[in-house]
């Protein structure tokens, strides 16, 4: 039994990672165990063989790699995927560092599920999706605000930024309302408002975008970046965002660049 | 880490410089992890794109090179999974086939053993036949020269697990390469 245990320590012994009594015991065992001596010798030989493989300095380098990688980043190939965003949102929520809206929305949905409520973020003035009850209910359903009456049931969300349901409702409106009627004056006004915010206050714009529910964020960004490109403000927005000392601004810059590239 | 900070504030030229500084290390690691130069070249690009994509996850209290290694190892693992090679290698390994059987017979002496291109190919093939979970730790430790602690941080496993996986990997390799290993070990 001791033989098997000591045999299992040979690799550590070879690395010099065994010390004290264990090391002394193994060395005593090696003196009288030919099998372990042979195994140690073969392990040493195996490590030497591994080290015979081409070293770093023998690796042939691609001198244009950096240029190619940067070009691909500029083309949007390194834009965060929905999985990355979801991962970051969950990690952020767990750390309590950011994504106040994520936390608040998650709590809302949990409570809504418990109370069997249906939550919809609908822009005032936007057309609601057709449903059998369409004739019986008004088209405009600001249900998030009415749900607010029940929010006292929700434990307070600890976050750095106050959760603002009105902002969330409006921003989501760009996505929900404008997908159906992109030329709607109100949708246009929201897009303009976000572009203005991006120009005047890039950090505020980053926070605003981060407060949009994950499933809508791409569409909102796409709509805003198109608007910025259409009005000739995209480059200014990008310059402003690049100066923001916040890694989240990266993803937004990439989205803007991708939109501009797709228009060219 | 001024370059890292410049990159994180949006300077893509700084990122280009980081690519130049780390590409040799990443290419070396991926060549050994994947065993194929073309695969490694593609994985190098993926590594740096992922590095840019996940740069915000880097915490400045840890070493940047450790973070780069971590992204590179993940790129290698993803590549393997997407190609479906892993399963093939695992079953080959599980069946106990001698990977070196079809290769030329062993060299006469230790010097031949170290120098021969055929021997290196054989070692590389045996390395490729290891399960992913064993290959990454042994490559990072025995070839890249990282410490147990650094490998634990890169692979996000406990240090004890790193030690045991290195041990298991060496034993599996020793079994396949015993003829060469015995000569080399005896000559030391």
Query: A-chain residues within 8 Å CB-CB of B19?
Result: 65-66, 69-70
Positions of chain A with pLDDT lower than 70, given as ranges: 1, 55-58, 88-186, 213-216, 263-264
Q: Which chain A residue has its CA at the smallest distance from B146's CA? A: A15
CB A72 to CB B49 under 8 A? yes
Are the C-beta atoms of A254 and A216 separated by less than 8 Å? no
Alpha-helical regions (H) of chain A: 2-7, 10-14, 20-32, 34-51, 65-74, 82-95, 100-115, 143-147, 165-180, 185-200, 202-210, 214-230, 234-242, 248-263
Are the C-beta atoms of B29 and B68 separated by less than 8 Å? no
Does the complex come out with an ipTM higher than 0.95? no
A146 interfaces chain B, CB cutoff of 8 Å: no
Q: What is the DSSP secondary structure assignment for residue B35, as one 8-state letter? A: -
CB A42 to CB B182 under 8 A? yes
B144-153 contacts at long range (C-beta below 8 A, 24 or more positions apart):
B144/B25, B144/B28, B144/B29, B144/B69, B146/B69, B148/A17, B150/B63, B150/B66, B150/B69, B153/B62, B153/B66, B153/B70
A248 interfaces chain B, CB cutoff of 8 Å: yes
Task: State the smallest CA–CA distance between residue B88 and chain A in angstroms.
Answer: 23
Option in B13, B53, B148 nearest A84 (CB): B53
Q: Which chain B residue has its CA at the smallest distance from A88's CA? A: B57
CA angle, B167 then B172 then B178, to 5°? 110
Query: A-chain residues within 8 Å CB-CB of B27?
Result: 59, 61-62
- Note the pLDDT of residue A124: 44
Q: Which two tokens stand for residue A4?
A: 């098997």
Which run of H or E residues covers position A116?
none
Q: Which two tokens stand for residue A178?
A: 């404008």
CB B10 to CB A39 under 8 A? no
Q: Which chain B residue has its CA at the smallest distance from A52's CA? A: B114
Q: What is the DSSP secondary structure assignment for residue B46, as one 8-state letter? A: H
- 3-state helix, strand and coil shares in percent for chain B, rounded to the nearest 5: 80, 0, 20
- Note the pLDDT of residue B169: 94
Report residue B87 CA to chain centroid gap.
18
* pLDDT single digits (tens) A180-236: 455 666 677 777 888 888 888 888 888 788 777 666 677 778 888 888 888 888 888
Closest CA to A74 of B72, B13, B74, B54: B13
Q: What is the DSSP secondary structure assignment for residue A53, as one 8-state letter? A: S
- Note the pLDDT of residue B134: 92
* pLDDT single digits (tens) B128-146: 899 888 999 999 998 888 8
A118 interfaces chain B, CB cutoff of 8 Å: no
Q: Which chain A residue has its CA at the smallest distance from B11's CA? A: A242
Q: What is the DSSP secondary structure assignment for residue A56, as one 8-state letter? A: G
Say how far apart CA B30 and CA B26 lie, in whole Å: 6
CB A72 to CB B113 under 8 A? no
A16 interfaces chain B, CB cutoff of 8 Å: no
Option in A12, A56, A249 nearest B163 (CB): A12
- Note the pLDDT of residue A104: 65
């Amino acid at each position: 039994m001791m033989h098997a245990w000591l045999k299992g320590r040979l690799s550590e012994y070879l690395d010099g990672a065994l010390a004290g009594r264990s090391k002394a015991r193994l060395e005593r065992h090696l003196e009288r165990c030919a099998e372990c001596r042979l195994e140690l010798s073969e392990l040493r030989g195996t490590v030497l063989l591994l080290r015979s493989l081409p070293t770093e300095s023998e690796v042939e380098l691609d001198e244009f790699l950096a240029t190619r990688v940067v070009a691909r980043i500029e083309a949007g190939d390194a834009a965060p995927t929905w999985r990355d965003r979801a991962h970051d949102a969950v990690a952020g929520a767990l750390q309590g560092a950011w994504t106040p809206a994520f936390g608040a929305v998650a709590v809302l949905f949990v409570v809504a599920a418990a109370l069997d409520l249906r939550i919809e973020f609908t822009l005032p003035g936007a057309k609601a999706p057709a449903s059998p009850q369409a004739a019986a209910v008004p088209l405009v359903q600001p249900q998030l605000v009415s749900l607010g009456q029940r929010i006292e049931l929700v434990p307070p969300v600890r976050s750095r930024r106050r959760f603002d349901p009105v902002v969330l409702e409006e921003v989501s409106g760009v996505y929900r309302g404008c997908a159906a009627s992109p030329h709607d004056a109100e949708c246009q006004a929201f897009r303009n408002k976000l572009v203005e915010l991006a120009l005047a206050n890039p950090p505020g714009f980053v926070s605003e975008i981060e407060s949009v529910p994950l499933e809508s964020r791409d569409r909102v960004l796409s709509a805003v970046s198109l608007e910025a490109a259409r009005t000739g403000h995209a480059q200014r927005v990008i310059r402003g965002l690049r100066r923001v000392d916040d890694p989240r601004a990266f993803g937004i810059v990439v989205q803007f660049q991708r939109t501009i590239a797709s228009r060219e | 880490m001024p370059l890292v900070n410049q990159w994180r504030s949006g300077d893509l030229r700084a990122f280009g410089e980081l690519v130049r500084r780390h590409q040799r290390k990443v290419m070396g690691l991926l060549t050994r992890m994947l065993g194929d130069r073309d695969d490694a070249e593609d994985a190098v690009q993926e590594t740096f794109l992922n590095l840019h994509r996940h740069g915000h996850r880097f915490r400045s209290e840890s070493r940047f090179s450790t973070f780069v290694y971590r992204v590179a190892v993940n790129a290698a693992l993803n590549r393997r999974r997407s190609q479906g090679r892993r399963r093939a290698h695992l079953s080959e390994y599980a069946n106990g086939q001698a990977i070196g059987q079809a290769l030329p017979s062993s060299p006469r002496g230790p010097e031949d053993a170290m120098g021969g291109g055929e021997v290196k190919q054989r070692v590389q093939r045996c390395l490729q036949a290891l399960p992913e979970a064993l290959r990454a730790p042994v490559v990072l430790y025995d070839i890249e020269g990282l410490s147990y602690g650094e490998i634990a941080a890169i692979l996000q496993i406990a240090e004890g697990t790193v030690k045991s996986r290195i041990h298991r990997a060496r034993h599996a390799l020793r079994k396949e390469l015993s003829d060469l290993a015995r000569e080399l070990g005896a000559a030391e």
